[in-house]
Amino acid sequence: HEIEKTTGVSVRLIFEVEGEPAFRDRESKTLESLSQQPGLVLATGGGAVLRPENRQVLATRGLVIYLKPDIETQLKRTADDRKRPLLQNVDRRAFFQELQRTRDPLYQEVADVTMPVDNRPGKKMIEAMLARLQRQEWITAE
């Protein structure tokens, strides 16, 4: 959302007009800038780990939680999605399988914690994540 906020246009339009490489350039600059803010919770797009410089930023500037969804969850959550440019006009199952194959090792490289994501309600996922972070002493209960 930060890229949309600063550019005033949708990610989809950036992809259509400028292409994916230009979007990834914007993504890298945004990640570099935002990651310098202390105490920030930053949710990156799924492709943020594709560039080595982004992985370096992620690995060195805070706690990285890899929210790892299964394919079925991804299919359900994106069934009616028209905003994500890479999901248009493709076999989504094959697409997600390929993304998982290529991106999972990159996320594993930078992740401090990996949390499986399923179809539990968001509040339940957050509770599970906080409990795990407390058990691993990444955060305190305060």
Task: Enumerate the domain spans of the chain.
Answer: 2-135
* Sequence-distant (≥ 6) Cβ neighbours of residue 139 within 8 angstroms: 130, 133
How far apart are the C-alpha atoms of 132 and 113, rounded to whole Å? 9
The neighbour count for residue 106, using CB atoms within 10 Å, is 19
30-60: pLDDT as tens digits: 999 999 998 888 899 889 999 999 999 999 9
Quote the crossing angle between the two packed helices 20-34 and 11-18, to the nearest 10°.
130
Q: Has domain 2-135 been given CATH number 3.40.50.300? A: yes
This prediction has a pTM of 0.82
How far apart are the C-alpha atoms of 76 and 39, rounded to whole Å? 32
